[in-house]
Structures are given as C-alpha cells and as structure tokens.
Amino acid sequence: MTEIEIRPERLLGDLETLRGFGQCGSGVVRPAYSQADIEARRWLAGRMEAAGLRPVFDTVGNLFGLPPGEGPCLLMGSHSDSQPEGGWLDGAYGVIAALETARASLECGGPPIAAVSFQDEEGRFSTLTGSRIWSGLISLADADALTDDEGITLAEARASMRDLAGAEPVGPERFSAFIEAHIEQGPVLDEAGEKIGVVENIVGIRSERFRFTGQQNHAGTTPMHLRRDAFQGLASFATELNRRLAGAVTPATVWTIGQAALHPNAGSIVPGRVDFTVQWRDAETERLDRMEAIIHATADAVAAERGLALERSAYATIDPAPCDPDLAARIESAAKSVVPGSWRRMPSGALHDAANVAHRMPAAMLFVPSKRGISHSFEEDTSREDLVLGARVLARAAASL
C-alpha cells in the first residue's frame, strides 16, 4: 500500500479560502447557485486543475475533478453550497479533504482519485438535489420544475451557470466507490472526546409543506369564539403533534417545523393563512411511514376542530441508506491506525450526498467532531487538529482500496 501523505497547511489553507466565498462572521451564506456559490465553484475548479485533476461541471453544476486515465476510480467529496445561514465546514470539509487526498495521491504515485462538489445538497430546491439527479433518482426534467422559496425554478437557477456547466457528462459508471468525509454536526464525538466516526447508516427523511387557511379579520372586533385563526391552528398542531408522536418514536427520531410564514403577518390582523414545513427523520422506513400517518391525522383533526382548510404537498423523500460494509471496514482500520482507541461506529442523523450515491456504487462516510455539536449555524467549528486527523484517515482508507 502506497502511503498518501496529505499536507495539513494546504488542506487548511484551501478550507480558509473557501470560507471566504460568502463569508458572514465565522460562517458562510453560500446557497446553491448564488453568486458566492458559483464563484466558489469556479475557484475550486482552478484548484483542481492546479492539482492535475481535470475539472468538469455537469449540467446541474456538480463539479468533478478527474484524475488522468480512463479506468473507473475512487470518487470522494461532498458539497460546497450552504444553508441560508451555514457553517464554514458543512460539506466544504469533505470537498477539500477529497481534493487534498486526490492531489497528494497524484504527488506520491498513489491510486487515481476523483473529487466532487455536488450542487444544492442543502435543499434550496429539494433535498440533496445535485446528487439525486446525478444518481438517477429524479429526472432532470422533473428536477427542473422544482422551485425555491421565491418561486424560482431549478431550470432558471442553473441557467446562471450555463457558461460553466454541461460541457461533458460525467456518469456514475466512471467511478468504483464513493467516500464522503463530513463534520458530525451533532454532539456525540465531541462529548466523548473521540476523533473519528465511522458511519454505518444515514437516516431517511420526509418533508412536506402545509397550509392552514382560516379567515383573515380585524384583531379588535372579531370575538375569540368566531375566529378562524391560522396561527392558532399551527400552535395547536405543533403541541398536539408532539403529544401524538411521543408513543411512536425512538430517542433518535427527530421532527421539525423549521419554516412558518403567517399571512399577512401584521399585529392587528387575525392571520388568515399560515404556510409551514414539517420534516421528520428516522433510520427505519416503517417508522417514517407511521409518523407520516400521525402527522396527517393530526393536521386533519386540527383543521376540522378550528374550521381551517388544509392543503399539503410532499417536498422531499430520501430513504434510509446503509453504508457499504467493506468500505466502512477500510475506514475503520484506517481510524484504528491513525487515532487508536479514539473512534466509534455511529449512524448519521444528518443527510448526505452519500445516501443518494449509495444507489449507484458502494458508498461510505467518516465524521470528525463538531465543537459543542453545533451545525447549520455560523457557530459551527472543528479544531484544526481534528480536521487534519480526519483527512489522514480518509487518505489512509483511500490508499488501502
């Protein structure tokens, strides 16, 4: 096995440069197809080229850095778009760790490795959009019709990358396996003082948009018993949902009402409408199904009780995905040699592109700790030492393939 010697200062330097695109405080605002995202991808393509990897954008803006040669090779990477308020490492770490490993491997005559930054992992248009299209789980035509919160379609957004994207298709058959390094985004490794998580499975997710419509009215003259107040509907739905789900979930199950918009959102108007999202995640498809039934029944009951009309539409479904056992074993043995006694096997509660890619090739993941378990926040961070250790484990796992 040829050792792949990564260079820590180059890894950390590129991560800092990437943070500069859309930087906001210590975090980033770099949603998919924003100017910051496109500029970051352009810079990343230049770094790939300088490393001897051929940069190719596919038609949705997924960026691949391909090593010389034609044969199937290992693919590594993640995403470089961010949440509307995102941390500097979510996705970026996996992309730069992959780039560093791929170029270090070229330098030392190791195996050919490709690096990727998938587009719209963070769900401006859907969930894990770029890797979902690339893995063939949604057609480009269907994806093009998806809209963001402002009603912009994916087709319109990706047109802003037209000068970069689509030169050449890069299909999954070009690659033999996929490894994604990522920050944990939860508290487990940090609390245990451990350095590496070897991911065994990635939870599934369901997301739906809901609308309660009542009667918009005067907040001074409308008696309480005559109101059909959409906000009161949402408040009661949220409370009732927690009560009804309590008996159907495990301690690892999560559900979130993360977005809510009142109409017309004015202090002296009884709200006539509320739009909100409900998202739920679990490692078992059957439990996701049972939760769905409870969520629908709760919304129906609240609407009926309060005289509200209810509309809902599904927004994203990603099935739970196991990681490939052989690849996970490679990561585990790399962790054993780089950070002996300081790693664990664990599930991923966050979603990752690997869940989509797993439909096309063996896929696995490794985590590094997140300080205080904070992510999807400007406060997200990981110690420099842990970032370097994660890349060393990644490089060792890659070299062993």
Residues near ligand GLV (CB under 6 A) are 122, 350-351
CB 33 within 8 A of CB 124: yes
Instruction: Write phi, then psi, for 295 (nearest 5 degrees).
Output: -65, -45
Residue closer to ligand GLV (CB basis): 234 or 355 = 355
291 binds, among Mn ion, ligand GLV, none (CB under 5 to 8 A by kind): none
Min dist CB 55 to ligand GLV, Å, is 24
Secondary structure (3-state) at 332: helix
231, β-bridge pairs: none
Which residue lies nearer to ligand GLV by CB, 302 or 316?
316
Q: How far is CA 189 from CA 65, 317, 346, in A?
A: 31, 28, 10
- The interface partner of residue 75, options being ligand GLV, Mn ion, none and the CB cut-off 5 to 8 Å by kind, is none
CB of 90 to ligand GLV, least distance (A): 7
Provide the minimum distance between the beta carbon of 351 and ligand GLV in the complex, in angstroms, as a whole number: 4
Q: What is the rounded end-to-end Cα distance, in angstroms, of the chain?
A: 9
Query: String of b and e for 97-135 (b: at least 16 CB within 10 Å)?
Result: bbbbbbbbbbeeebbbbbbbbbbbbbbbbbbbbbbbbbb
For Mn ion, the binding residues (CB under 5 A) are 90-91
Q: From the centroid of its chain, how far is CA 109?
A: 32
Long-range CB contacts for residues 333-337, cutoff 8 Å, separation at least 24: 333/397, 333/400, 334/393, 334/394, 334/396, 334/397, 334/400, 335/195, 335/196, 335/198, 335/366, 335/393, 337/396
The answer to whether 87 and 378 are in contact (CB under 8 A) is: yes
- Please state at what angle helix 92-107 crosses helix 8-19, rounded to 10 degrees: 140
Tell the smallest beta-carbon distance from residue 166 to ligand GLV (Å).
25
By a kind-dependent CB cut-off of 5 to 8 A, residue 184 interacts, out of Mn ion, ligand GLV, none, with none
Contact criterion met (CB below 8 Å) for 202 and 282: no
Looking at the Cβ atoms of 302 and 350, the one nearer to ligand GLV is 350
> CB of 399: closest distance to ligand GLV in angstroms?
29
**Which of ligand GLV, Mn ion, none binds 351 (CB below 5-8 Å, type-dependent)?**
ligand GLV
Beta carbon nearer to ligand GLV, 79 or 228: 79
| Smallest separation (angstroms) from ligand GLV to the CB of 146 | 16
Question: Please, which residue, 90 or 120, has the CB nearer to Mn ion?
Answer: 90
How big is the chain, counted in residues? 401
Report which residue's Cβ sits closest to Mn ion: 91
Which of ligand GLV, Mn ion, none interacts with 87 (beta carbon under 5 to 8 A by kind)?
A: none
The partner in contact with residue 386, picked from Mn ion, ligand GLV, none with C-beta cut-offs of 5 to 8 angstroms by kind, is none
Please say which residue, 351 or 387, places its beta carbon nearer to ligand GLV. Answer: 351
Closer residue to ligand GLV in complex, CB, 214/320: 320
Least separation, in Å, of the C-beta of 123 and Mn ion? Answer: 8
Query: Considering beta carbons, is residue 67 or 86 the nearer one to ligand GLV?
Result: 86
CB of 366 to ligand GLV, least distance (A): 16
What is the rounded CA–CA span in Å between residue 362 and residue 354?
A: 9
From the list ligand GLV, Mn ion, none, partner contacted by residue 180 (C-beta under 5 to 8 A by kind):
none
